[in-house]
Structure 1
Amino acid sequence: MEKFIEYSADIDDDLLLLLHCEKTSKGLFSKDFNLDTFGQDECSSLFRFANDDLHHLSSELHIPEKFVASNGTAVSGIEALCVMLKRLSYPNRLQELRDFYQRPVSEISYISNSLTDFLYDNYGHLLSELDRSWLSEDNLHEFANAIFNAGSPLTNCWGFIDGTVRPICRPFVNQREVFNGHKRVHSLKFQSIVTPNGLIANMFGPVEGRRHDAGMLRETGLLDTLRQKMTMADGTIYSLYGDPAYPIHPHLIGPFRGHRLSNEEQVFNTKMSSVRVSVELLFNKIVRNFAFVDFCKNQKLCLQPVGKYYVVAAMLSNCHTCLYGNQVAEMFELQPPNLREYLHG
């Protein structure tokens, strides 16, 4: 997995085409950035968070007031956050960001990638561990009730599990490994657990695009984790619901399989399918708010931390949900935790 997280250089590939521009432009940049010059709606459009919430987000993420990139470039923490968010929010070229921030393209690249590293190293565990305060037994019971009230025939289902295929640019090496025959694209895969309060509770990946969902599940060791954490002292078992690709397990339930299903089995599958749509809604939110990770032409292995971009985008999407809610939380009539509880609970 690490080979899809790490990358061979600290700079983006399009930077190599733009470095020559700096030879004539260095010294011409003001390097002054004042977030207060942007209105609330403008900040939401450019950075996906409103002006006041950007300061709140920076504080809760514990981004240093003086952030130093890996090449030694020093900027304010809020500017570093805005550089990275604007980079992720849309497939901008570095030259466009240079003009926006009045900084050389190399600094833009180093700042963005360095903060991505900072967030991944310090908060990646939020998507790799299930031992969180907002996943307490009381909350699991609340999740199960919300899913049941939304039409599920299950009374103990607390979330949904699924894999997602993220297309990438065709690499120069290992093309067979990352080619997904079902989607017919070169890709990386991630496995996620989503909860009815609108959050991605767990994410595993990236792995090669050709890997099967059941293979990812075995590699995660998730079933052992669920057995330990989702079996209560009174014997109550809380289960996930997945598609037919996953095996049946006390902590992982799937639809009835086969062509000759009874009416009751067909009704069960239909009802569970209607609530399981929340998985796709959360996947779509990530690429809608952070469209850079959906621009496969610029998702290039060995030149960029492709996997790390997506994991950080998913974590930031959860932060966005904590501040503004989302369609899934509204669908199940639940409130996500506040930002501090999510990041530090």
Structure 2
Amino acid sequence: MAQSMMLLASLEGDDDLLLLSCMDDDKESSIYHKLGIDELSEEQFRTLFRFKKEDICALCDALGIPVKIVCKNRTVCTGIEGLCILIRRLAYPNRLQDLSHVFGRSTAEISYIFNTVLDLIDSIHGHKLENLHQPWLSHAKLDEMVAAVNQCGAPLVNCWGFIDGTVRPICRPQSHQQLVFNGHKRVHGLKFQCITTPDGMIAHMFGPIEGRRHDAGMLRESGVEQQMQHHMTKANGEVYSVYGDPAYPLSPYVIPPFRGAVISANQMRFNKKMSALRVCVEWTFGKILTLFAFLDYKKNQKLYLQPVGKYYRVATILTNCHTILYGSETGSFFDVSPPFLHEYLA
């Protein structure tokens, strides 16, 4: 009984209480025991691990996670267990001690497994967030997305996506605080630049970069315009463009709203309509944090102690996979289907 009370005291939040409720009564006397995944209901499993039980094996295989994982300290686990540890760690602000109760492993083993799978996914699929030359971004798919944006009344006739930057707050570092302090948001943080497509996917991500940097500087350093020049130009010379906020400079591939103290009525209508559609970028940023709330707990985002940027990148890849499997608010709004899982992760 005393051990049960100690375990209850160590768990925080509804998700952790759900984990405790899934434990067998005859095993409660042992703090370190493995979670019986087969005994979880579909609803419980999706609450804890964000994906359906029937899809987790296919996701593990599509991500290229091996059946057997051997960490640097020779800790061994299955690929499914490693992926579940990664997702559970990112899904909620858990302590390693809390995960030890769940997976029946020591905190050191949990840490090694988590970081090994994190590095594995980022090394295999991280380039997909940096490169627009991907099979699922063919000109036929771009035409479909342009048509969907136009169907929603967009006055910009060649828009295939929306670009924006986001600041992810971090714990205040002990050194070089001025580099990561964002004066606009009044927080220490890292910045990321994303292009969201009408099917709810994040087609491109640049970052992390210092929190003090301006969106226009991120655009220049990302080189995404050069990529669009090569891959987003039709044979007849017409281009596909993305729409951004007033922070971005005007170019053939990135279109900001009309600026100035005095603009015409048509320009005002253009700005209003495109702004209403550009909000889908915020929906995507919100979905990442909804699925992986660990990223929104800045006290545990320690710049020089943890790969904070890698956390967000891998969570973005997993969010794209979640969108492919279960859809998104953005895809429903524009009525566009995302690519298949094997097509995106190929």
Structure 1 length normalisation: TM-score? 0.90
Q: Which residue of 1 aligns with 2:243?
A: 241
Query: What's the CA shift string for 1:147-204, capped at 9, x where partnerless?
Result: 1111210110000111000000000111000000000000000000110011000000
Displacement after TM superposition at 1:70 (Å): 2.4
Query: What's the CA shift string for 1:114-149, capped at 9, x where partnerless?
Result: 100000000101101101111101111111110111
What is the distance in 2 between the residues matched to 1:166 and 1:30? 34
Which one-letter code corresponds to 2:152 in the other structure?
A: A
Does residue 1:102 correspond to 2:104, yes or no? yes
Note the 1:19-168 alignment, pairs <5 A: 32=34, 34-168=36-170
Alignment check: 8 A CA contact 2:31 2:101 kept: no
Q: Which residue of 2 aligns with 1:188?
A: 190
Alignment check: 8 A CA contact 2:182 2:212 kept: yes
What is the distance in 2 between the residues matched to 1:183 and 1:291? 19
Q: Which residue of 1 aligns with 2:17?
A: none
What is the distance in 1 between the residues matched to 2:136 and 2:153? 23
Alignment check: 8 A CA contact 1:164 1:190 kept: yes
SS at match of 1:204: strand
Q: Which residue of 2 aligns with 1:22?
A: none
Q: Which residue of 1 aligns with 2:229?
A: 227
Displacement after TM superposition at 1:30 (Å): 6.4
SS at match of 1:158: strand
Which one-letter code corresponds to 1:96 in the other structure?
A: D
How many residues are treated as equivalent by the alignment?
A: 317
Displacement after TM superposition at 1:236 (Å): 1.8
SS at match of 2:204: strand
Which one-letter code corresponds to 1:297 in the other structure?
A: K
SS at match of 1:255: coil
**Which has the higher relative contact order, 1 or 2, with Cα contacts under 8 A spaced 6 or more apart?**
1
Q: Which residue of 2 aligns with 1:210?
A: 212
Q: Which residue of 2 aligns with 1:333?
A: 335
Which one-letter code corresponds to 1:272 in the other structure?
A: M
Alignment check: 8 A CA contact 1:33 1:79 kept: no
Alignment check: 8 A CA contact 1:161 1:193 kept: yes
Displacement after TM superposition at 1:29 (Å): 7.6
Q: Which residue of 2 aligns with 1:255?
A: 257
Which one-letter code corresponds to 2:234 in the other structure?
A: M
What is the distance in 1 between the residues matched to 2:238 and 2:221? 26
Q: Which residue of 2 aligns with 1:9?
A: none
Alignment check: 8 A CA contact 1:159 1:194 kept: yes
Alignment check: 8 A CA contact 1:94 1:105 kept: yes
Counting aligned pairs with the same residue, the percent is 53
SS at match of 2:189: strand
Can you give the 5+ residue segments of structure 1 that lack an aligned partner in the other structure?
Answer: 1-27
What is the distance in 1 between the residues matched to 2:128 and 2:178? 31
What is the distance in 2 between the residues matched to 1:132 and 1:34? 39
What is the distance in 2 between the residues matched to 1:70 and 1:143? 44
What is the distance in 2 between the residues matched to 1:174 and 1:37? 48
Q: Which residue of 2 aligns with 1:25?
A: none
Which one-letter code corresponds to 1:199 in the other structure?
A: M
Does residue 1:318 correspond to 2:320, yes or no? yes
Q: Which residue of 2 aligns with 1:343?
A: 345
Alignment check: 8 A CA contact 2:32 2:102 kept: no
SS at match of 2:172: coil
Alignment check: 8 A CA contact 2:32 2:101 kept: no
SS at match of 1:131: coil
What is the distance in 1 between the residues matched to 2:131 and 2:185? 29
Displacement after TM superposition at 1:224 (Å): 1.3
Can you give the 5+ residue segments of structure 2 that lack an aligned partner in the other structure?
Answer: 1-29
What is the distance in 1 between the residues matched to 2:293 and 2:75? 26
Q: 1:32 to 1:97 in 2, by over 3 A?
A: closer
Structure 2 length normalisation: TM-score? 0.90
Alignment check: 8 A CA contact 1:188 1:209 kept: yes
Which one-letter code corresponds to 1:237 in the other structure?
A: V
Picking from 171, 174, 184, the partner of 1:172 is 174
What is the distance in 1 between the residues matched to 2:113 and 2:328? 29
Q: Tell me how large the CA RMSD over aligned residues is.
A: 1.2
